[in-house]
Amino acid sequence: MLPFLEPLRILSADNCLYVTLFRLAIAAFCGGVIGLERGRKRRPAGFRTHMLVCIGAALAMLISQYLTMMTETHWAKLLLLSNTAVGTTDVARLGAQVINGIGFLGAGTIIVTGQQEVKGLTTAAGLWASACMGLCVGAGFVEGAFIGCVLISITIIVFSRLERIILSRSRNLNLHVEFEHVDDVGKIISAIKSQNVRIFDVEIHKNKGTEQSPAAVFSIRLPKRMQHTTLLTLLASVENVRSIEEL
C-alpha cells in the first residue's frame, strides 16, 4: 500500500469530493486503457464503451459506500427516531434494481447491421452510466453526480474524435466487400495478399437487399506504414467488386 494514497481510500464527509474525483478518474483511465487495446483491434466494445462502463461501475460502488456512511452518521438520528437499528436496513436495495433494470433499455439500443457490424454499444453503456449518475442525484451524492457527468460528457463528446484518429491509424481492419459472384472471392483474396496483408477471417454471406448480391467480411491486418486508403483503392480496381465499406 502507498502511504500517500491512504487518505483517498476512505470515503468520509471531509474528503468526499477528493476521493470521488480520484476514484472516478482512475476508473476512466483504467477503462480507457483496456478499451484502447480493444478498439485498435476493431472489437465491438472499444475505447469509449469501456470507459463508460468503468465509470458507471465506480459510481455504483461509490453510491453504496456513500449511503452506508450517511446511515452511520447524519441519518443515524433519523433511524433511531423511526426505531430502526443502524445496519439492519439496506437503503441501496431499491437503487440496485434500477441498475439491473436499465439493462433492458440498453439491450434495445444494440443492433447488428446487415454488414455483421455491432452498433449501439456505446449508447447502451452511456445509458447505463447515466442511470448510475441519476442514482447519485437521488441519494444526495451531488459530488459524485457532477464529476460523473463531466467524465461521461468528455468520454462521449471529446473522446469520440480521439477514437476516430485511433481507428484510422489501426493496422487491424474489417472490410465489407460486395461483389457479383461467389467465385470473385478468390480474386479479392489474391489482391489482398499481394500487398503482404494478413487475413484473419473471411465470412461470406448474402445481403438482404433486393438484388441479393453476395458479400464477404474480411478481418485483416495491414503491414506497417500502409494506409487504409491504399488497400481500399486496390480492391476497388478488382473486377466485379461492387462496393467496399470499412467497418
The string of pLDDT tens digits covering residues 16-73 is: 788 888 889 999 999 888 888 777 766 767 788 888 989 988 888 888 888 877 777 7
Domain final position from 107, 138, 168: 168
At 7, is the pLDDT very low, low, confident or very high (cuts 50, 70, 90)? low
Cα distances (Å, whole numbers) of residue 82 to 67, 73, 166, 186, 204: 17, 15, 56, 77, 66
Residue 93 reports pLDDT greater than 80: no
All three cell numbers of 119: 452498433
Q: Are 139 and 65 in contact (CB under 8 A)?
A: no
Average pLDDT, integer, range 132-155: 88
Task: Mark whether 159 and 184 lie in a shared domain.
Answer: no
- The pLDDT mean for the chain works out to 79
Task: Mark whether 203 and 160 lie in a shared domain.
Answer: no
Residue 176 reports pLDDT greater than 80: yes
Domain harbouring 227, CATH code:
3.30.70.260
Of 107-111, 147-151, 179-183, least confident by mean pLDDT is 107-111
Domain final position from 168, 186, 213: 168
Task: Mark whether 90 and 45 lie in a shared domain.
Answer: yes
Task: Mark whether 49 and 88 lie in a shared domain.
Answer: yes
Residue 86 reports pLDDT greater than 60: no
Task: Mark whether 138 and 216 lie in a shared domain.
Answer: no
Domain final position from 168, 186, 217: 168
All three cell numbers of 145: 453526480
At 150, is the pLDDT very low, low, confident or very high (cuts 50, 70, 90)? very high
What angle do the packed helices 16-40 and 47-72 form, to 10 degrees? 160
Task: Mark whether 134 and 50 lie in a shared domain.
Answer: yes
At 89, is the pLDDT very low, low, confident or very high (cuts 50, 70, 90)? low
Residue 134 reports pLDDT greater than 70: yes
| pTM for the structure as a whole | 0.70
What angle do the packed helices 142-153 and 16-40 form, to 10 degrees? 30
Domain that holds residue 187: 172-246
Task: Mark whether 18 and 137 lie in a shared domain.
Answer: yes
Task: Mark whether 148 and 29 lie in a shared domain.
Answer: yes
Task: Mark whether 30 and 92 lie in a shared domain.
Answer: yes
Average pLDDT, integer, range 214-238: 84
At 205, is the pLDDT very low, low, confident or very high (cuts 50, 70, 90)? confident
Task: Mark whether 64 and 82 lie in a shared domain.
Answer: yes
Q: How many domains is the chain built from? A: 2
Task: Mark whether 122 and 136 lie in a shared domain.
Answer: yes
Task: Mark whether 65 and 138 lie in a shared domain.
Answer: yes
Q: How many CB atoms lie within 10 A of CB 241?
A: 17
